[in-house]
């Protein structure tokens, strides 16, 4: 399959000790704090562990989130939130705005930020798997499912948890609705790329492949449009990727639509469709170069050298030459001045996010455990403002070497 996907960096976070001297009294409260500290550290470690798989990620994230829920939800359901929601300051960087962190004294902010990183992990896991040589059918399904899971997490955060934040996200930050929507739609589009590759491999009807490609191009266009009002300084590279993928899959749509027209003896229209495919492929090729030259978050690669890109170029060229030969020998049809309108609707293969819910509050949270936290014992000089000297170190992500046959180069 050897797909290539753009990936923004993981969010980084300041360490959290969960030490509440004087506030957390008794062994049960101390155990909760210790478990929170260790499960958070374990989850952060797994984000950059290449041996981590979806099962390990789910177990580790469920372990931390179920404990964190005790800081968010009331156990007796008499109030809407836990008395501990605002006890701890959390600090996180953003995927686009470098190492300039945001901080909130709110456990909901932590839940969303860590959930965001879990979703990013699923996209990066899918990307690593999709770039392998000789990917198996089961691995392709894993890529497809991981991207749908990521889309589901981003969607759930946007719809169910972002509205609960006391302090709204600033413009261009990860937790802003526009960015979350762009991530959801990008995950859907990339999952459909896997569907298209499978449809081509199984030699499905060109009409179905053209429709899927057209829908995928529309997804990329929607994601790009969602980011259009962000500052180019930190969104330009991501938008180049979305634009080039939109052009690439529009070229795919016109290429396979041309095959459908040829099969219906509409050779002149087929040639015009293939010429349009050639035009969009050339646009995508130019955008590949621009992408490689654009500064910003994300990998520095040359996507035009990638196998998935080169294969389409050869397909468009060969299909156009075949149509031109057949028109010269058999059909003698006039080539229309206007390209055919793509009004294609895929009835199969469209991707929907996998519904996501955070796990319920851990059974270790009991009324007695919660009562052991006495907020009246908090130090008087306790400040809700983050200390300016606190530094959030960037996440050292593993260097993924491109597979030999992908033609993808790290510069």
Cα 61 to the center of its chain, rounded Å: 17
Domain boundaries in the chain? Answer: 1-203+351-410, 244-347
What are the start-end ranges of the H helices in 104-231?
Answer: 107-130, 137-156, 177-201, 206-226
Whole-number pLDDT of residue 348: 67
* 22: region left, alpha or beta (phi > 0 left; psi from -120 to 50 alpha): left
The full DSSP string for 168-186 is PPPTTSTTSHHHHHHHHHH
SS3 372: coil
Q: How many CA atoms lie within 13 A of 85 on its CB side?
A: 15
Q: 90 φ, ψ to 5°?
A: -120, 145
The percent of residues above 70 in pLDDT, for the chain, comes to: 87
Q: What is the pTM of this model?
A: 0.90
Q: What are 173-199's pLDDT values in tens digits?
A: 999 999 999 999 999 999 999 999 989
Whole-number pLDDT of residue 123: 97
Whole-number pLDDT of residue 69: 96
- Stretches in the chain below the pLDDT threshold 50: 1, 382, 386, 401-411
Q: How many residues does the chain have?
A: 411
List the Cα angle 22/23/29 in 5-degree steps. Answer: 110
Give 278-282's long-range contacts (Cβ < 8 A, gap of 24+).
Answer: 278/251, 278/316, 278/317, 278/320, 279/251, 280/247, 280/248, 280/250, 280/251, 280/254, 281/247, 281/248, 281/251, 281/312, 281/313, 281/316
Nearest to 258 by CA among 347, 198, 346, 339: 339
Whole-number pLDDT of residue 393: 83
CB-CB neighbours of 357 under 10 Å = 9
Is the C-alpha dihedral spanning 192, 193, 194, 197 positive or negative?
positive
Query: What's the maximum distance between 2 C-alpha atoms anywhere in the chain?
Result: 91
Name the CATH architecture for the domain at 1-203+351-410: Alpha Horseshoe (1.25)
Q: 108 φ, ψ to 5°?
A: -65, -35
C-alpha 404/C-alpha 175 separation (Å) is 37
């Amino acid at each position: 399959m050897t797909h290539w996907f753009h990936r923004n960096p993981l969010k980084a976070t300041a360490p959290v000790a969960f030490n509440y001297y004087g506030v957390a009294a008794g062994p049960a409260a101390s155990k909760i704090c210790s478990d929170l500290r260790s499960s958070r550290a374990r989850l952060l470690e797994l984000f950059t562990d290449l041996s981590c798989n979806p099962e390990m990620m789910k177990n580790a994230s469920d372990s931390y989130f179920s404990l964190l829920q005790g800081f968010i939800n009331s156990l007796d359901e008499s109030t809407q939130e836990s008395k501990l929601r605002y006890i701890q300051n959390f600090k996180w960087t953003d995927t686009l705005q470098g190492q300039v962190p945001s901080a909130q004294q709110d456990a909901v902010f932590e839940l969303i930020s860590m959930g965001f990183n879990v979703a990013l992990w699923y996209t990066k896991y899918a990307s690593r798997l999709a770039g392998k040589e000789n990917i198996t059918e089961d691995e392709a399904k894993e890529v497809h499912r991981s991207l749908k899971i990521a889309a589901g997490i981003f969607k759930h955060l946007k719809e169910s948890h972002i509205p609960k934040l006391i302090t709204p996200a600033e413009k261009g930050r990860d937790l802003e609705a526009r960015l979350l929507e762009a991530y959801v739609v990008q995950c859907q589009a990339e999952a459909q790329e896997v569907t298209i590759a499978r449809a081509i491999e199984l030699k499905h009807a060109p009409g179905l492949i053209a429709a899927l490609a057209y829908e995928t191009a529309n997804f990329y266009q929607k994601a790009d449009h969602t980011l259009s009002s962000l500052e180019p300084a930190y969104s330009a590279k991501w938008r180049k990727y979305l634009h080039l993928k939109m052009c690439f899959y529009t070229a795919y749509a016109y290429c396979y639509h041309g095959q459908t027209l040829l099969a219906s003896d509409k050779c002149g229209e087929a040639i015009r469709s293939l010429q349009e495919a050639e035009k969009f492929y050339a646009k995508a090729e130019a955008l590949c170069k621009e992408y490689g030259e654009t500064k910003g978050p994300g990998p520095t690669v040359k996507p035009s050298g990638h196998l998935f890109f080169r294969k389409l170029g050869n397909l468009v060229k060969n299909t156009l030459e075949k149509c031109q030969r057949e028109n010269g020998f058999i059909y003698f049809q006039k080539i229309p001045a206007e390209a055919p309108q793509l009004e294609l609707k895929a009835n199969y293969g469209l991707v929907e996010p996998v519904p996501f819910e955070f796990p319920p509050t851990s059974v270790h949270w009991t009324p007695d455990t919660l009562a052991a936290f006495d907020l009246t014992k908090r130090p008087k000089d306790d400040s809700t403002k983050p200390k300016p000297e606190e530094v959030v170190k960037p996440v050292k992500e593993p260097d993924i070497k491109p597979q030999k046959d992908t033609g993808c180069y790290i510069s």
